[in-house]
Structure 1
Amino acid sequence: MPAITVRPLAPDDVAAYRALRLAGIAELPAAFCTTHAAESGLPLAQIAQRLRATSNQIIFGAFDEEQLIALAGLRREPIAVVHDKASLWGVYVAPQARGRGAGRQLVQAAITHACAIPELGRVRLAVAQDNHAALTLYLGCGFTLEDCPASDGMLQMQLWLPRPARASAESNVFMKINTLQISAK
């Protein structure tokens, strides 16, 4: 069995990306934030633009030789107030490729990419509560369930990124606040 390779997708991958994404939407419509009709109606040029990596978004693909078998996107929020968060989205593994580690490799690639962005503090995702394979994958990659009830059958999960420099800075702030003396009037 050939090794699976993971790399960021580029506009040249547009045909394979579109085909696999449409297959995912057809198989698991509740797991995607779009419909098959809406996605299939997008012009290829617009989809190719989505595949252009930017400072706010990157889409990874897993390949079995030359065949695209799995997808995962990472989108960083551009608004300054929430610039420390990113979303893992559009994760899909083709049925014939499941159980081979492609999903784990994609999620790990997204986490590694997120860790390289100093401002990011956490990655969030939504997953269908009945998608046990995805829940197992995300839990195995370090994600935890958020403390909010499931809405529309979707669970919210998050992964706090390791940031030792920020953690020590936060503890220094706590220490300063803890030792602050307030005079009584």
Structure 2
Amino acid sequence: MPELSVRPLNPDDAPAYRALRLAAIAELPAAFCTTHALESSVSMAQMRQRLQPTRFQIIFGIFDDTQLIAMAGLRRETIAVVHDKASLWGVYVAPQARGHGLGRQLVQAAVEHAGTIAELATVRLAVAHDNAAALTLYLSCGFVLDGAAPQAAMLQMQLALPRPAVSAATAPQNSVFLKIKT
């Protein structure tokens, strides 16, 4: 397989994204938080809106010529008390493209993007406990199992984002951050 590159999807990619997403849900329904029927009812306008990169969400894809063969989304939390977390979701590689490291490329692209967002500290994901290939991929990319109890048949995983060390000379003086519960 020739070298393929990861890029953020955009609204023009909606037809290709919709086709791959529906194929993914049909193949692995337990791995997605929706049903084929519900996703089929999403309008093309809604798909285009979903693919518009924002401060809080971006979806990456890999194309083989004009066919989208792999995808992964990264969604940041908007709620202030968890604004330091993002979720990796919808990771899928088409069957004919598996075994070439595309899943790893997608995960790395999402983690690298997350690392550019100063307030993010953690990327989380959920993976079906019986999806050995995905679990192996995530573990090899540095994700660890969360100590929380599994939710249904899903394992929770997380990755602490690397941050550059701050020297005492450049650290802000007397800076205090408080989280206040109201």
**TM-score when normalising by structure 1:** 0.88
Q: What secondary structure sits across from 1:71 in the alignment?
A: strand
Q: 1:39 to 1:110 in 2, by over 3 A?
A: same
Query: Matched residues in 2 for 1:115 and 1:53: separation?
Result: 16
Cα distance in 2 for partners of 1:134, 1:70 equals: 13
CA displacement at 1:167 relative to structure 2: 10
Letter in 1 for 2:108: Q
Q: Distance between the aligned counterparts of 1:95 and 1:18, measured in 2?
A: 16
How does the TM-score come out when normalised to structure 2? Answer: 0.90
Task: Tell me, yes or no, if the aligned pair for 1:4 and 1:65 is still in contact at 8 Å.
Answer: no
Q: Please identify runs of 4+ aligned residues in structure 1 that moved more than 6 A.
A: 166-169
Correspondence 1:114 to 2:114:
yes
Identity of aligned residues (%): 71
Structure 1 residues 166 and 40, CA gap change in structure 2 (3 angstroms):
farther
Aligned match of 1:79 = 79
Q: 1:3 to 1:82 in 2, by over 3 A?
A: same
Q: For 1:15, give the aligned amino acid.
A: P
Partner in structure 2 of residue 56 of structure 1: 56
Residue-by-residue CA offset, 1:3-44 (whole Å, 9 max, x unaligned): 111100000000000000000000000100001000000110
> Alignment length, in residue pairs?
171
Give the CA RMSD over aligned residues: 1.7
Equivalent in the alignment of 1:147: 147
Residue 118 of structure 1 aligns to which amino acid in structure 2? A
Question: Which runs of no fewer than 5 residues in structure 1 stay unpaired?
Answer: 174-185
Q: Secondary structure at the match of 1:55?
A: coil
Equivalent residue, structure 1, for 2:130: 130
Structure 2 counterpart of 1:97, which letter? A
Supply the distance in 1 between the matched residues of 2:33 and 2:165 (Cα, whole angstroms).
35
Q: Which runs of 5 or more residues in structure 2 are unaligned?
A: 176-182
1:168-179 alignment, distance < 5 Å? none
Q: Is the 8 A contact 1:3 1:64 kept in 2?
A: no
- Specify which structure has the higher proportion of helix: 1
SS for the counterpart of 1:4 is coil
Q: CA deviation at 1:66?
A: 2.3
Once the two structures are superposed, what CA deviation does each residue of 1:63-101 show, in whole Å capped at 9, x if it has no partner? 122221001000000111110000000001100000011
Q: Which amino acid aligns with 1:59?
A: I
Q: How does 1:14-25 map to 2 (within 5 A)?
A: 14-25=14-25
